[in-house]
Amino acid sequence: MEGERMISYQQAKDRLIEQMPDYGAERCCWKNAVGRLLREPVWVDRPLPPYDRVMMDGYAMRASDLAVDSLFRVKGVAWAGKAASALSDEPFSCMEVMTGAALPIGADVVIPVEKTERWGDRIIRISDKAMREVGTFIHRAGSDARAGDIALEVGRKIGSREMGVIASCGATSLSVARLPKIAIQATGDELVAVEQMPMDHQIRQSNGHALLAGLTAVGFAAEVLPTLADDASADEIQQKWQGYDLVIVTGAVSMGKKDFVPRAMQDLGYDCLFHGVAQRPGKPLGVWKKSDQMIIALPGNPVSALVGLHAMVLPALRKAIGMKDAVPRMVSLQGKISTPPGLSLHLPVRWVGNEQVGAAPAGNSGDFMGLLRSDGWITLPADACSAQQYEFHEWI
């Protein structure tokens, strides 16, 4: 893991992204598609809107009649959900209309009810002469989209706006990017379950749940496996990790006597993509691959594990399923920070304002409480200078 075997942070990130499998596509019921990425477009099946839609409660009439007089006789009502009816051919006729109704055939303007005066049940006076142009308060058929148009393109993430379009187009079965089956594996004899009261020499297992929260927030599902002991055998590891596309390990990846992951990966025939990254925190990070199964081993220190998730794992997962990265927010760093010689530095920062951040480093790589004092992080390359701009990433 030392010397020439270490690779730079950017090299490690690029290599991981390059080696991530394509997880393909699967069919998904539209009701369960929130947060998923489209692998096929959604097509408009009929014009949107499908008919000339009334946009205001009021009265529909002919604009040509409005040019002559402002007194009209009300002849009928057009309700939403009913087929369009014809406006009387008799001059100065109008129909009362409701928002969402089909525009009466022959009408070409809608006057809002608040711009009229009703005289009895059948006579109205138009009190505002400004609203008399053809098409006023009419949502024309096909003005939003035509039948056969692409409503949602490939790669689009489905949220509330997209769901409205999907429902309107009747797209009940969608082709979406298949999400990898992910396991999170914490290691260490000192770890106990969250629900358990630890002894003085023990700590609750928190890394797995922090990583799960980060994955879930982006749209990935994962399972937190029971903690592996420090004397876990290769056979035990193989049995527990079978069937997962990706296993994210925390701990047991460094140079200690009980750091068993590198040895187990070799015994089980995994190819090492890299082990050791010139970065802080997270120098021992390693990645192994066998067929299409990926093993990403993060250091066990909480800050190192969480930074590894944000800086390495999530970018690779996003790329693997075709998720577009948000345009990064560029910031400058107040004050001077010395980077470790030859290492990239992932620095927790607090938002100052005016596109500036200030350093908010954790006390050490085990100080997960210290991360609460920061709003996000930036990466300083080994050759960073004070005038440089950095991509700001919020914690997820």
DSSP secondary structure, 89-134, as one string: SSTTEEEEE-TTPBPPBT--EEEEGGGEEEETTTEEEE--TT--ST
The torsion of the CA quartet 214, 215, 216, 221, rounded to 10 degrees, works out to: -160
- Report how far residue 287's alpha carbon sits from residue 275's, in angstroms, rounded to the nearest whole number: 6
Kind and range of the H or E run holding 318? helix 314-321
Residue 66: phi and psi, rounded to 5, are -65, -30
Kind and range of the H or E run holding 163? helix 160-169
Residue 217: phi and psi, rounded to 5, are -60, -30
Question: 55, 110 in Cβ contact below 8 A?
Answer: yes
Say which amino acid occupies 293.
Q
- Report how far residue 347's alpha carbon sits from residue 378's, in angstroms, rounded to the nearest whole number: 5
- Report how far residue 273's alpha carbon sits from residue 15's, in angstroms, rounded to the nearest whole number: 8
85-89 long-range contacts, CB within 8 A, separation 24+: 87/60, 87/61, 87/62
pTM comes to 0.87
Structure-block tokens of residue 393: 């990433």
Question: 122, 112 in Cβ contact below 8 A?
Answer: no
- Report how far residue 163's alpha carbon sits from residue 171's, in angstroms, rounded to the nearest whole number: 10
Chunked into runs of 10 residues, the chain (396 residues) has average pLDDT values of: 75 98 97 97 98 98 91 96 97 97 98 90 79 92 98 96 98 98 96 92 94 96 96 94 98 86 96 97 97 97 96 97 89 88 95 94 88 95 79 93
Say which amino acid occupies 29.
C
- Report how far residue 258's alpha carbon sits from residue 376's, in angstroms, rounded to the nearest whole number: 33
Nearest partner of 74 among 57, 87, 84, 56, judged by Cα: 87
3-state secondary structure 179-228: CCCEEEEEECCCEECCCCCCCCCCEECCHHHHHHHHHHHHCCCEEECCCE
Residue 168's alpha-carbon distances to 35, 348, 360, in angstroms, are 18, 44, 47
CA angle 292, 295, 301 (to 5 degrees): 165
- Report how far residue 379's alpha carbon sits from residue 311's, in angstroms, rounded to the nearest whole number: 9
- Report how far residue 204's alpha carbon sits from residue 200's, in angstroms, rounded to the nearest whole number: 11
Kind and range of the H or E run holding 166? helix 160-169
- Report how far residue 214's alpha carbon sits from residue 281's, in angstroms, rounded to the nearest whole number: 18
Q: What is the pLDDT, as a whole number, of residue 386?
A: 63
- Report how far residue 271's alpha carbon sits from residue 277's, in angstroms, rounded to the nearest whole number: 17
Question: 237, 225 in Cβ contact below 8 A?
Answer: no
Write the DSSP string, 224-247. EPPPBPTT--HHHHHHHHTT-SEE
Domains of the chain, earliest start first? 3-23+179-321 (3.40.980.10), 28-47+155-177 (3.90.105.10), 53-139 (2.170.190.11), 329-394 (2.40.340.10)
State the number of CA atoms in the 13 A half-sphere of 105 facing the CB: 6
Q: What is the pLDDT, as a whole number, of residue 3?
A: 43
Q: What is the pLDDT, as a whole number, of residue 1?
A: 58
Nearest partner of 61 among 88, 25, 32, 28, judged by Cα: 88
